[in-house]
Amino acid sequence: MTIALAQLEQYLNYYLESSQIKDYCPNGLQVEGKSEINKIVTGVTACQALIDAAISQHADAIIVHHGYFWRGEEPVITGIKRHRIKALLDNDISLLAYHLPLDVHPLVGNNVQLANLLGITVDKTLNPDDHSIIGLQGHLPRELSVSEFAEKVEQALGRKPMVVDNGKPVQRVGWCTGGGQGYIDQAVLAGVDLFLTGEASEQTFHSAVENNISFISAGHHATERYGIKALGEHLENLYDIDIQFIDINNPF
């Protein structure tokens, strides 16, 4: 099966409601390649290694969570950005990127997918009064110790997390995939037992200790593999096209 690039983009924009979400980057088609697509590669970040893998797989399009053209970045196309974009254009490969729309989607979003993986039942958003705040809160089927829950995270993500354990059992969890460490304050306000995110900053440790909340930093990449993977599976069921998720190892 093949699909027209225009149809693919139109469907993704519709499904992920990208026009309704304010973001730090353009969501949708970022680099235009050939108009007919036979094979799609998906991945977390449009890094050179993912592009090289897509070229060797003869992909016609790449769909990622982290694309290009971030607010505040140098707008010129030099250095690694030139190499990446040149490789895409030379090989006629389109790049489609969905950032926040793929964090917050109720079915294939990173946050919902991570909950599924960790056996957390979603209750509501981290702050139901403020929709600009990404992240969710939910509960585990039974209380676990922080180390039991951390073990579960390690098993699921294949990476040892950083843990702040306040010694209390965990049942209510708040989480935000990726660089969500700043939302620890929202998790404290929500009254959850533990906050999980991808990244941690130096100050996150003190915030966790002084607010008496347990905290897990499980990796930006590791917590954000599952949205794009689920999106690819969704597209494969819908359009019967060849879609391959490629995980480029990233310890951060």
Q: Position 213: which residue type?
A: I
Kindly calculate the radius of gyration of the chain based on its CA atoms and give it in whole angstroms: 19
Q: How far is the CB of 220 from Zn ion (least distance, A)?
A: 6
Residues 214-233 touching Zn ion, rule: CB under 5 A, are 224
99 is in an annotated binding site: no
Q: How far apart are CA 192 and CA 187, in angstroms?
A: 6
Contact 123, 252 (CB under 8 A): no
Rule CB under 5 A: is residue 43 a binding residue for Zn ion? Answer: no
Query: By C-beta, is 81 or 172 nearer to Zn ion?
Result: 81
Find the distance separating the first CA and the last CA of the chain, reported in whole Å.
36
65 is in an annotated binding site: yes
**Burial tier of 156 (Cβ tally within 10 Å: 0-12, 13-18, 19+):** middle
Rule CB under 5 A: is residue 135 a binding residue for Zn ion? Answer: no
224 is in an annotated binding site: yes
206 is in an annotated binding site: no
Query: By C-beta, is 138 or 178 nearer to Zn ion?
Result: 178
210 is in an annotated binding site: no
CA-based nearest residue to 117, from 214, 223, 217, 215: 223
Binding segment for Zn ion among 25-33, 35-43, 132-140, 172-180 (CB under 5 A)?
Answer: 172-180
Rule CB under 5 A: is residue 178 a binding residue for Zn ion? Answer: yes
Query: By C-beta, is 5 or 217 nearer to Zn ion?
Result: 217
CA-based nearest residue to 151, from 161, 141, 140: 161
Instruction: List binding-site positions for a divalent metal cation.
Output: 65-66, 103, 220, 224
Question: By the criterion CB under 5 A, which residues form the site for Zn ion?
Answer: 178, 224
